[in-house]
Each structure stands twice: as C-alpha cells, then as structure tokens.
Amino acid sequence: MKTGLKIATIGGGSSYTPEIIEGFINKKLSGELPIKDIYLVDIKEGKEKLDIVGNLAKRMVKKAGADINIHLTLDRREALKDADFVTTQFRVGLMEARIRDEKIPLAYDLIGQETTGAGGFAKAQRTIPVILDICKDMEELCPEAWLINFTNPSGIITEAVLKYTKIKVIGLCNVPIGMVSMVAELYGVSSDRIYIEFGGLNHLVWGRKIYKDGIDVTKEVIDMIKDGKAFSMKNIPNTQWGGELLDALGVLPCPYHRYYYLTQEMLKECKEQAEKEGTRGEVVRKLEKDLFQLYKDPDLAIKPPQLAKRGGAHYSEAAVNLINSIYNDKKDIQYVNVRNDGTILDLPENVAIECNCVIDKNGAHPIHIGHMETSIRGLLQIVKAYEELTVEAGVKGDYKAALKALTIHPLVKDASVAKKVLDDIIRENIEYLPQYK
C-alpha cells in the first residue's frame, strides 16, 4: 500500500463538503487513513462556493491539527491524476435544475421528486453524460482508483458506470445507514447494536430482517412505527404508513416507499408544500444560502450543526467508512450499490442493486439474497426495468427508451402524460443533454 493517499472530490463546492472533510480528518487523526492530499474540484459556475467551502475545509484541517493538504481547483484532470479514491457529489444544472425537476411533473399532477419518478429521470439524463466523461478521464489518469458515487440517482448512475466503463465503482446512499440509525433511536441504543438485512434498489430498499443484539426484532419495529413513531428523513414528509400496510408487507419499507405506497397522499403533500413554502429544492436553496453565509465566517473551523437540516445526514459516515474498509481490507459489512451478479435472483445479473456487502481491498461483495418476497418482487422488477431503460436513454439519447422508461414508472404510468413530461424535460434541460441534440 502506498502511503499518503490522494482523494479527489468532484462537486467540492457542495454544502455537504464539511461533512466529508470532518470524516476524513477523524480517520487521519485515528491513524487509519494516511490521507495526504484532498482535491476539491468544481466547475466555473461553482467557483464562489468552492472557495467558501474550501477555505472552511482548510480551517477545519488546521484546527484539528491534521496534516492534510486541501487543494481547490477547477481543473478536473489535475484533481484526478494519480488519485486513489474519487468521490462524486455533483449536481448538473445546480439547484435551478432540481427545482425544474420538481415543478415539471407537478404541472401534470405527478409527484415531483429529485431522485424518483419523472424528476429523478430528468436528473439522471443530465448526470449520465458527465459521469461517463469523468470515468473516461479516470481510465486515463487514475485507472486503479475507486469511484465512490454519491451523486443521485445513485443506483442509476452507478449502473451506467458499471455497464459502460472499466472503472471500479461502488454507489452510496445515506438511506440504509439512516434507517439503521432510526431503528437505534427507537430503542435508545447505539447504531452498532442494530443490524438490518437490506435488499432492493437505491431509494427502493426494504429492511427484510431487523436484529438488535443479534435477536430478530422485525415485528417489534414494525409495531412501533404502526403506533406513529417517526420514521422518515429531512427531505421526505413523515406521512403515516397505516398499520394494515406494514403488517401485510412484514418488512420495513424505506422512507422513499411512501411515494409508491401512498402516492395520492404524497402528491397532495408535494402540492401543498410547493404552494406554501416552495418545492423541496426551493427550501434547500434558501437553507444553502444561509449555510454558505455561515461558512464564510473566518472564525468557523468545524462542521456547523446547521448542516444537519440539509438532509444528507450520515453521508460522510457512509463514504468515509467505505474508503476506510477498502484501504484497510476490513471485511466488515456495509450497505452499498453494486452489480447484482445473481444476488437477487429476480433481477438481471448486470444491473445495480442495493444490499449488504462485505467490504475488503477488492471492493464490495454482496451477501446472497435469493428470491424476494412476492409483495416486493413486482414493484422491484418494474422500477428496475425503468432504471435499465433510463440508463440506455441517458447514454444513447434514445427518445424511445426514454418514453418507455417514463411510461412504465409507477409514478407516471400513462403514455400520453409521459410523452408531454419527456418533451418538457428535454426542452427545459437541452443545454445539459448533449446526447439528445
């Protein structure tokens, strides 16, 4: 193992960056990760934010006494050259594009959400050309580096990399680790005493079995949530599930399942929020403005607690733990997005899934699942078919694949509406969609 790791973070001007810097500082100080250089890279339009957040990162490193060099650059190739790990947390089209992703579907009485349904489709179409471009640079400049992708929709972006590049990639999401934390909170215990067997897709993952101290408490947890205990995330309304549904499922749905199982209630909630305080993207834009004001303070040298309101809790924990386990060959279990390879027998081999994996120096090794429960299988297969078509459309600019993807998605599922939404998405995003030109 070489000493002195180089890490490149693409989308370094993100408001999340202090989170991951804090995680890297902790691992450096504990002696687990010999990080020498962190390159925070962004695009020209993100330069102001990169400077603000980058200077905060430098202050954090200095205050902690961690011997890490922080580099700020707009030159992606410089950042990637000889990198050991590359993390991605970028948003093509910035926050304005997210707000459009939420508003276009709402205009057709559909849920507008940034990672699922029509909004998630739009984000994927903008992101796929960029991630493939990054991978092309990586193949030339750091072919042995690991790509840790946190850019949403994480499962779809990871699948595009798996299918169309030679890069070693693992996709990450804060939902599974968040669910473990939420169950730990229900019991008032630390997260390391909770273990959940996950299976599914990114933002469509089910907790099939829940263990506390090695004892199966699945039914007990479901009963607690039935009784109204909060079980959601900052960016998703905490609509109550309904006891009959949870009993019938017999497994723990992730917070995003509300969009599929409680579609009408969630649509009503989305519309009300959009009218009252703006879409989630508009709320986040304001939150981010306040955060960057905070980040400018020359006396601030830690991750501010206000960042927790942003909705990305546990992100750095997941990313830093993953890098740590690969580098140190830990062979521990984490929840990530990987190639299926027969793990879930109801899905094709070459697609991305989200599940429990053993992490070592060779990457993520999924723990076999077999067939999924009947109640899960139908939704799982149709959303995966949508994702496969979305990847195809995103890579090739294939209008027919795009139309098929939206038509079968459970949150759209009407060909005439799908066509209108698709045409709006392409028209409003054309500057970010070279594949459709």
Strand partners, 171: 149, 337
pLDDT of residue 1: 52
pLDDT of residue 120: 97
pLDDT of residue 308: 74
Domains of the chain, residue spans: 93-114+173-276+313-437
203 and 116 Cβ atoms separated by less than 8 Å: yes
Contacts of 252 (CB under 8 A, 6+ apart): 179, 183, 196, 206, 207, 208, 210, 218, 221, 222, 225
Q: Is the pLDDT confidence value at 333 over 90? A: yes
Contacts of 81 (CB under 8 A, 6+ apart): 141, 142
What's the mean per-residue pLDDT of the chain? 94
Question: Could you tell me the fold of the domain covering 93-114+173-276+313-437?
Answer: L-2-Hydroxyisocaproate Dehydrogenase; Chain A, domain 2 (3.90.110)
Q: What is the DSSP letter of 410?
A: T
* Phi, psi of 42, rounded to the nearest 5 degrees: -150, 180
**CA–CA dist 84, 39 (Å, integer):** 11
* Residue located via tokens 């994702």: 387
Percent pLDDT > 70 in the chain is 97
**E runs forming strands in 11-106:** 35-41, 69-73, 85-88
The tokens describing 344, both together, are 């879930």
* Residue located via tokens 């995680």: 23
Q: What angle do CA 74, 87, 208 make, to 5 degrees?
A: 150
pLDDT of residue 317: 81
Q: H helices of 212-313, where?
A: 218-226, 243-249, 258-261, 263-276, 280-295
Collapsed DSSP state (helix, strand, coil) of residue 258: helix
* Phi, psi of 194, rounded to the nearest 5 degrees: -110, 135
Q: pLDDT tens digits for 274-298?
A: 999 999 999 989 988 999 999 999 9
**Confidence tier at 313 by pLDDT (50, 70, 90):** low
Q: pLDDT tens digits for 353-409?
A: 999 999 999 999 999 999 999 889 999 999 999 999 999 999 999 999 999 999 999
Catalytically active residues, by annotation = 256
**CA–CA dist 435, 399 (Å, integer):** 10
**CA–CA dist 30, 300 (Å, integer):** 23
User: What is the mean pLDDT of the segment spanning 314-339?
Assistant: 93
Collapsed DSSP state (helix, strand, coil) of residue 273: helix
pLDDT of residue 236: 76
Q: pLDDT tens digits for 175-214?
A: 999 999 999 999 999 999 999 999 999 999 999 999 999 9
The tokens describing 302, both together, are 């830690």
In angstroms, the Cα distances linking 285 to 10, 14, 94, 256, 359 are 20, 12, 10, 21, 35
* Phi, psi of 141, rounded to the nearest 5 degrees: -100, -25
Collapsed DSSP state (helix, strand, coil) of residue 346: coil
- Burial tier of 176 (Cβ tally within 10 Å: 0-12, 13-18, 19+): buried
**Confidence tier at 305 by pLDDT (50, 70, 90):** confident
Q: What is the DSSP letter of 4?
A: S
Instruction: Return the amino acid letter for 101.
Output: D
pLDDT of residue 231: 73
**CA–CA dist 112, 97 (Å, integer):** 12
Q: Is the pLDDT confidence value at 2 over 70? A: no
Closest C-alpha among 377, 288, 322, 270 to residue 52: 288
The secondary structure of 181-225, three-state, reads HHHHHHHCCCHHHEEEEEEEECCEEEEEEEEECCEECHHHHHHHH
Closest C-alpha among 351, 413, 414 to residue 388: 351
